[in-house]
């Protein structure tokens, strides 16, 4: 190949690269254009996001999640992040040789266990999420349900030790932080009326907080694509009655039960809709809120006004 042929070939390659870049830019512009109705729809809305599952232990997934949350705040959505931390808690309990069992997806918590849970949730995990959000240009503030009496709890039934059920949520601190431009990041711990510390299921805590805030959306990020029917297919839209029937039939089982029950309670408490979606999927939050397709399983009342 002589020099002239080489120059022509390189020019063609460069043109193909430029065309590819142009296509990417056009696709980005088109996506932003199509997102306009959704940007308007959620302007000023409160969106509670439960962040959990194994995505929390992946630095790249954490960075992507943090960027999505900062973007929400940038376009005038008020996100509140409530996180779990089961895998990290398990690691610490194993390291300390403390055994822990589950009932219907909820961890039985004796005094030693709840001390470890508080240390991991309020310490390592909460601050890691705060740091990730701040690293993307946001202003995150970490707190737990014990701060400012955000979440008052009583012992859960059946008795599982220091496992609590929220009976009173005072969201004033969250509203004040959001109004001041901050992004609250909440560890799912609650205060008892007698000074106890209660371990609260992350989904349950997120649902109670979303209801108290009368949130527009509660997004429950997990390690599965959503609620699946008996055939194993994800159900994209459901009513509360359909969810109850699937629980009764045993189609919804195990760790999905607290999520489904959280959705039902949140909707009864005034949340417009709840979505259970795969937090491992890139930009899952943005896909759900800003695209026509959405993501995961959306649960809302049959009332068209919802």
What span, in angstroms and rounded, lies between the C-alpha atoms of 212 and 172?
10
CATH number at residue 62: 3.40.1160.10
On whether residue 305 sits in a domain, the answer given is: no
The predicted pLDDT at position 8 comes to 46
Q: Do 103 and 21 have their domain in common?
A: no
Any idea which of 31-40, 117-126, 163-172 has the lowest mean pLDDT?
A: 31-40
For residue 26, the enclosing domain spans: 1-36
Q: Do 31 and 60 have their domain in common?
A: no
CB atoms within 10 A of CB 299: 28
Q: Do 113 and 157 have their domain in common?
A: yes
Q: Do 91 and 224 have their domain in common?
A: yes
Q: Do 22 and 109 have their domain in common?
A: no
What span, in angstroms and rounded, lies between the C-alpha atoms of 123 and 82?
14
Coil, strand, or helix at residue 114?
helix
Which of the two residues, 201 and 140, has the higher pLDDT score?
Answer: 140
Q: What is the pLDDT of residues 206-254, one digit of tens each?
A: 999 999 999 999 999 988 899 999 999 999 999 999 999 999 999 999 8
The predicted pLDDT at position 29 comes to 74
In Å, what is the CA distance from 122 to each residue of 73, 143, 148, 162, 211? 23, 7, 15, 16, 22
Q: Do 175 and 221 have their domain in common?
A: yes
Q: What is the pLDDT of residues 54-78, one digit of tens each?
A: 778 788 989 999 999 999 999 999 9
Q: Do 7 and 84 have their domain in common?
A: no
Q: What is the pLDDT of residues 73-113, one digit of tens each?
A: 999 999 999 999 888 898 999 999 998 887 766 788 889 99
Domain count, the chain: 2
Residue closest to 175 by CA, chosen among 80, 266, 267: 80
Q: Which pTM value belongs to this model?
A: 0.88
Q: What is the pLDDT of residues 131-157, one digit of tens each?
A: 999 999 999 999 999 999 999 999 998
Contact 103, 156 (CB under 8 A): no
CB atoms within 10 A of CB 230: 9
């Amino acid at each position: 190949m002589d020099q002239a042929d080489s120059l022509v070939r390189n020019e063609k390659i460069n043109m193909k690269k430029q065309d590819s870049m142009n296509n990417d830019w056009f696709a980005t512009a088109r996506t932003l254009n199509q997102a306009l109705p959704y940007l308007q729809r959620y302007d000023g809305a409160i969106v509670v996001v439960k962040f959990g599952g194994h995505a929390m232990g992946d630095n790249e997934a954490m960075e992507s999640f943090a960027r999505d949350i900062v973007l929400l705040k940038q376009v005038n959505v008020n996100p509140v992040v409530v996180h779990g931390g089961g895998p990290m808690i398990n690691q610490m309990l194993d390291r300390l040789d403390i055994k822990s069992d589950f009932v219907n997806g909820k961890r039985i918590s004796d005094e030693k266990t709840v001390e470890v849970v508080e240390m991991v949730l309020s310490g390592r995990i909460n601050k890691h999420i705060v740091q990730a959000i701040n690293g993307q240009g946001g202003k995150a503030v970490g707190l737990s349900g014990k701060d400012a009496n955000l979440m008052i709890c009583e012992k859960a039934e059946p008795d599982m030790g220091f496992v609590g059920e929220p009976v009173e949520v005072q969201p004033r601190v969250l509203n004040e932080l959001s109004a001041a431009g901050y992004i609250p990041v909440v560890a799912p711990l609650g205060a008892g009326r007698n000074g106890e510390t209660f371990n609260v299921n992350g989904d349950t805590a997120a649902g109670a907080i979303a209801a108290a805030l009368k949130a527009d959306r509660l997004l429950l990020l997990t390690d599965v694509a959503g609620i699946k029917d008996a055939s194993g297919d994800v159900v994209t839209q459901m009513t509360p009655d359909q969810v109850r029937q699937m629980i009764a039939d045993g189609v919804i089982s195990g760790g999905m039960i607290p999520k489904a029950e959280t959705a039902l309670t949140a909707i009864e408490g005034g949340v417009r809709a709840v979505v259970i979606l795969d937090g491992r999927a890139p930009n899952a939050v943005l896909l759900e809120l800003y695209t026509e397709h959405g993501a995961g399983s959306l649960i809302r009342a049959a009332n068209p006004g919802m």
